[in-house]
Amino acid sequence: MVFAVWDNVEPKLSPTELMAILQYVLSAVPLRKTQRNFLTVLLSVFLAVPGRLNALNLSRYAACSESTIRRWLHRSDDGAIPWGALHQATVSTAIESGLISPLCVLAIDASFHRKAGQHTAHLGSFWNGCAARTERGIEQSCCALIDVQHRQALTVDVRQTLTGSEAPTRLEQTADQLDDVLLDLRTVQQLDLAAVVADGNYAKEPIVETVTGHGLPFISRLPRNANLNDLYTGEHPRRRGRKKKFDGKVDFSDLQRFDLVSARPTERVWTQVVWSVQWAREVRAVVIQQIGKKGQVTGYAVLFSTAVTMPAHEVMALYRSRFEIELIFRDAKQFLGGQDVQLRSQQGIEAHWNVVLLTLNLCRLEALRAAGGGQDLVFSLEDMKRRAYNALLAQVILSNLDLSARFEE
């Protein structure tokens, strides 16, 4: 395995195994010496630092000052950290080492972050799913690769949603982000990208056109009032004019024209190829009905795929794998200070998020390495953070007692 070389990395700058993984990932990216040193110093303590993970608190544990950390995170010139290349290096490492399956889907979603102050770049009103209402703050747009077989997620790109009269619309920003990410992922060897998945908020024409323009299926959720037409499959009458193409509007309360895929006591699945009036294309629609105790339909959801030949069970499986990106948001906010941003510029905010998500990627790689793969892996970032803090505390105590040589013991 590729990870065998990690045990020989010297010097070991942290009591955790993450530094060996970090050094291996850094070796796969062309970095300046100053960039490599900064990432080594910052990430060596990022997981273990208690309290808020901002520049001031990090400077108390890392071998650099608060101003140095802020200056690096604010950089937008040629010397800025290439975060995208680092994320792709973690993905390549995981695939080449056999820790995740090459068959992945790309998931995209947004996450709300509270932000105080009046001078932060691109403050605006965004939907906060936890509060179920719109609140003032900033929004993070994240793309992650999800291993279809073992449901392991690795972040590949994160950006801040721009606001203001001169900023593009939210859909345009999402389409541009997807376009950039899909182009970059072509350089990742052995990656087999099956589809792009997103929730129903992204089921819009710019997103569909961007994804299908790259030759990939797009899987998402349709509203119940979606404008869909049944395709006409009967014999065409002998008359002048164009042949009949449609046979009425799809009625989700009457699925006689749909094919029954599976029927269980609590769920029925139906599928059919229909015509989307909004996008002027055929799509594979999958209707999932929830069945009550008396056999009545209590609710339903409508999924779709732009690949009309994709089986219904595959559409369901790929869409449900999208939920793993929500766990990225949870871990980043609860354990890695995703909301502890004390920076105002867009570059600084995005750099802070990238540090958080890069650390999360490295932690997942270490958990996969320790478990021998993603099968039956229960990933707990809280446990890793606690162990890292205990090891760092022991290292500090032994260093102050001039017993650093006995740290392993």
Strands 281-291 and 259-264, bridge-based pairing: unpaired
Dihedral, 205, 209, 215, 216 alpha carbons, nearest 10: -30
- The CA–CA distances, whole Å, from 179 to 42, 118, 153, 321 equal 31, 32, 20, 21
| pTM, rounded to two decimals | 0.89
Ordered domains of the chain (ranges, CATH): 2-217+321-400 (no CATH), 228-309 (3.10.450)
Q: How many of the other CB atoms lie within 10 Å of CB of 217?
A: 24
Question: b vs e for 336-375, b when ≥16 Cβ sit within 10 Å of the residue's Cβ?
Answer: bbbbbbbbbbbbbbbbbbbbbbbbbbbbbbbbbbeeebbe
List the one residue out of 278, 271, 269 whose CA is nearest residue 228. 278
Mean pLDDT per block of 10 residues along the chain (409 residues) reads 36 50 88 91 86 87 88 90 94 90 95 87 90 92 94 94 92 96 92 95 95 96 92 77 83 91 93 94 95 91 96 95 94 88 90 93 88 77 84 80 70
The three-state DSSP-derived secondary structure of the chain is CHHHHHHHCCCCCCCCCHHHHHHHHHHCCCCCHHHHHHHHHHHHHHCCCCCCCCHHHHHCCCCCCHHHHHHHHHCCCCCCCCHHHHHHHHHHHHHHCCCCCCEEEEEEEEEEECCCCCCCCCCEEEEECCCCEEEEEEEEEEEEEEECCCCCEEEEEEEECCCCCCCCCHHHHHHHHHHHHHHHHCCCCCCEEEEEECCHHHCCHHHHHHHHHCCCCEEEEECCCCCEEEECCCCCCCCCCCCCCEEEECCCCCCCCCEEEEEECCEEEEEEEEEECCCCEEEEEEEEEEECCCCCEEEEEEEEECCCCCCHHHHHHHHHHHHHHHHHHHHHHHCCCCCCCCCCCHHHHHHHHHHHHHHHHHHHHHHHHHHCCCCCCCCCHHHHHHHHHHHHHHHHHHHHCCCHHHCCC
Instruction: Please report the pLDDT score of residue 10 as a whole number.
Output: 33
Determine the pLDDT at residue 12.
Answer: 31
The amino acid occupying position 348 is G
Residues 329, 108: Cα–Cα separation, whole Å = 12
Angle between the 346-371 and 33-46 helix axes, to the nearest 10 degrees? 70
